[in-house]
Amino acid sequence: MQDTNPLPPVRTAVVLFTIQQTLKLLLVRGDLWHLPTAALGENEGLESCAKRALAEATGVEGVFLEQLYTFNDPDGAPRVIVSYYALVPYDRVNVRPGSGEWIDSAALPLVAHGQRPIVACACERLAAKLEYAPIAYQFLADQFTLGELQSVYEIIGRQPLDKRNFRRRVRASQCLLETRDTRRGGSHRPAKLYRLRDARPSI
**41 belongs to the binding site for a second copy (CB under 8 A):** yes
Partner in contact with 172, chosen from DNA, a second copy, none, beta carbon below 5 to 8 Å by kind: DNA
Taking CB under 7 A as the rule, does residue 99 contact DNA?
no
Number of residues that bind DNA (CB under 7 A): 20
Question: Residue 9 interacts with a second copy (CB under 8 A)?
Answer: yes
Give the residue ranges of DSSP H helices in 59-197.
116-132, 146-157, 163-173
* 21: Cα within 13 Å, side-chain hemisphere: 5
Burial, 35: exposed, middle or buried (Cβ in 10 Å; 0-12, 13-18, 19+)? buried
| Helix/strand/coil for 176 | strand
Using CB under 8 A as the binding rule, whether residue 192 contacts a second copy is answered as no
Question: At what angle are helices 146-157 and 163-173 packed, to 10 degrees?
Answer: 110
Report in angstroms the alpha-carbon separations of 104 from 17, 89, 156, 184, 198: 10, 15, 12, 28, 31
Report DSSP state, residue 189. P
By CB under 8 A, residue 45 contacts a second copy: yes
Instruction: Tell which one of 30, 184, 198, 203 touches DNA (CB under 7 A).
Output: 184
Please enumerate in sequence order all residues whose Cβ is within 8 A of that of 46, keeping only pairs 6 or more positions apart, or say none: 10, 12, 40, 67, 82
- Considering only 6, 9, 41, 147, the residue that binds DNA (CB under 7 A) is 147
Q: Choose the stretch contacting a second copy; rule: CB under 8 A; options: 6-14, 53-61, 102-110, 135-143.
A: 6-14
Interface with a second copy, residue 5, by CB under 8 A: no
Q: Which is nearer to a second copy, 78 or 186 (CB)?
A: 78
Query: Under 8 Å CB-to-CB from 55, ≥6 apart: which residues?
Result: 61
Segment lying near a second copy (by CB under 8 A), choices 16-24, 33-41, 110-118, 171-179: 33-41
Site residues, DNA (CB under 7 A): 145-147, 162-165, 167-169, 172, 182, 184, 186-192
Site residues, a second copy (CB under 8 A): 8-10, 39-46, 67, 69-72, 76-80, 82
